[in-house]
Structure 1
Amino acid sequence: MSEVKKFQEEVKNNIKSLSEDKELQLLSNKWIEKISPHKYSYNFTWMGRPIIQLPQDIIALQEIIWSIRPDLIIETGVAHGGSIIFHASMLELIGEDGEVVGIDIDIRKHNRVEIENHPMFKRITLIEGSSTDQEVFAQVKEISKNKKKVMVILDSNHTHQHVLDELNLFSPLVTKGSYMIVLDTVIEDMPEDSFPNRPWGIGDNPKTAVWEFVKTNDRFVIEKEFNHKLMITVAPDGYLLCVGD
C-alpha cells in the first residue's frame, strides 16, 4: 500500500471512530447550542466579505468544490456575499470557466455594491427574487444549460415548506456525482426557544424538509460522512450526494 493510500485509510478510520463516539457528538451539539446566541458564525470573512458560516462547513465546501470541479454553483441566499465570493474564488483556483449564481429575495444595496466591486464578481451572476419563483428559476435553468457539473446550495428561508419547494425545484439541475447542500438543518437539533422571532423551529426547518425529500427522490442520498468528520456543522444530514442520472 502506498503512503498516500495509508494516510487515506488512517483518515477513514478516524472518521469511523468519530461516528462511534456518541459522547463527543453530544458535546459537539452542546457547543453549537451554547455558541449560537453569540452569533459565532458572523465572525468570519472570506476575501473581505462576511461569510456567516462555521469554519468546518467552509472546509467541507472547499473539499467538495475541489473534488467535483463544477461548471456552475447555484446558491439561494446571498446576504453579505461571502459565500458566493468563496465559491467563485474556488472556481478561480480551479482555473476553468466555472460560474456562480446567487439568488436572494432582497439583495441590499450596500451588499450589492461590495459584491459587484469584488475581483471575484467576474464569475458571479446575481438574481434578485424568490428562489421558488418560476421566473427566477427559468433564469437559472437557462444559465445551467450545457453545464456538465452543477452543484446547488440552499441557504435562504429555512421553513420546511420553502426548503422542500427549493429541493423539488432545483434538484433536477444537479448532476450525478455532484451535491445539493442544505444549510441550517441544525435548527432541528437546537432548543425549542432558539428562534423566537423566526417562522422556523423544531419540526419545521431544513432538516425536516430533507428527510421528506429523500423519501421520494432516489437520485439523492444523505452523505453521512460529513456529519461524522465535521462534528461541528450547521448542516447535519444536509450534504446530499446525487447518485442518479
Structure 2
Amino acid sequence: MSRELSEAEKAFAAEVKGNVEGLGRDPVMKDLTAQWFRRSTDHRYSYNFRWMGRPLIQYPQDMVALQEVVWETQPDIILETGIAHGGSLIYSASLLRLLGGDHRKVIGIDIEIRPHNRKAIEEHPMAPMIEMIEGSALDQAVVDQAKALIPEGARVMVLLDSNHTHDHVLGELRLYAPLVTPGCYCVVYDTVVEDLPAEFSGDRPWGPGDNPKTAVHAFLKEADGFEIDHALEDKIQITVAPDGWLRRVR
C-alpha cells in the first residue's frame, strides 16, 4: 500500500535497513542461526504451530516475512502447491481478507487432499476465499484449471511447497513462476534441505543435491526476470527458504 512516508518513518526505515545489512555481514550470527535451525528439526519445530485453528507446518519467521511481502505487493491471487492440513491456505486467505475486496482468492493444489482436511478447510470461516484443486501440480489439466481461476489483470503470488525433489520443483517453477506479476514473489519452501545433513531427509526421495534449492538455481539459469531477495533472508535469519524468496523484477 503506497503512501508518502514521513521524515520520522524514513529515518526509522533507514535504521532498520542498517540493522538488516549488519545481520547479513555477521558470520557468527549466521552460524548460530544454522546451529539453532538444525537443532530445531530434532523437535519437529515447524509442526507445532497453528493459524486460526489449523496446523500451519511453517516456521513463524517465514510467516512474518510472508505478511510483510503480501502487504507490500498487494496480490489479488495467492497460488499454493501443497495443502496438507490447510493452515497455509487459511493464513494466506486471512492476509488477503485484510487487504479487502471480494475479488481476492487463494488457490491450493495438492495431489491428495485428505477428506478430513478438506472438510475442516471447507468449514473454516476463510473457506469462501479458498479454491482447492486435487491433482499433480505438474499435470497440465491442473495447471489449466488453476489458470482459469485467475482473473485477467490480477496480481499473482506463488508459494511452492509440495514434492521437494529437484525435478518436481523445477517443473513447478517452469509452470507457475511465469504467472507471478512483476513486483510480486514466488516463494520456494524447504530449500534448506540442501543445507542440512543427509540423514535429515530420511527415506524421502529428496536430500542434499536433489531438492528445492538446486531447482531454484537451475531455474534462475534458464529464466529471466527473477532475483533472490537476500535482504529479506538476512532480516528474518531463520527460514526454511534460503535462496527461495524470489522476487519477479520484470
The list of structure 1 runs, each at least 4 consecutive aligned residues, that deviate by more than 4 angstroms after superposition, is none
Contact 1:144/1:173 (<8 A) preserved = no
Structure 1 letter corresponding to 2:231: E
> Percent same amino acid at aligned positions?
53
> Is 1:24 the counterpart of 2:29 in the alignment?
yes
> Is 1:80 the counterpart of 2:85 in the alignment?
yes
Contact 1:226/1:236 (<8 A) preserved = no
1:33 counterpart (15, 33, 38): 38
> Is 1:63 the counterpart of 2:68 in the alignment?
yes
1:117 counterpart (96, 100, 123): 123
CA RMSD in angstroms comes to: 0.9
CA distance in 2, matches of 1:229, 1:41: 19
2:187 counterpart (169, 181, 193): 181
Q: Partner of 1:165 in structure 2?
A: 171
Q: Unaligned regions of 5+ residues in structure 2, if any? A: 1-5
CA deviations 1:92-128 (Å, max 9, x no partner) are 1111121000000010011000000001000000000
Matches within 5 A, 1:198-217: 198-217=204-223
Where 1:27 maps in the other structure, the secondary structure is helix
The structural deviation recorded for 1:145 is 3.6
Structure 1 letter corresponding to 2:37: I
Q: Partner of 1:9 in structure 2?
A: 14
CA distance in 1, matches of 2:65, 2:138: 26
CA distance in 2, matches of 1:33, 1:212: 25
> Is 1:192 the counterpart of 2:198 in the alignment?
yes
Structure 1 letter corresponding to 2:113: I
Structure 1 letter corresponding to 2:207: G
Where 1:236 maps in the other structure, the secondary structure is coil
Contact 1:160/1:209 (<8 A) preserved = yes
Moved more, 1-10 or 180-189: 1-10
The structural deviation recorded for 1:197 is 1.6
> Is 1:235 the counterpart of 2:241 in the alignment?
yes
CA distance in 1, matches of 2:136, 2:191: 20
The structural deviation recorded for 1:16 is 0.3
CA distance in 2, matches of 1:227, 1:72: 23
CA distance in 2, matches of 1:117, 1:79: 16
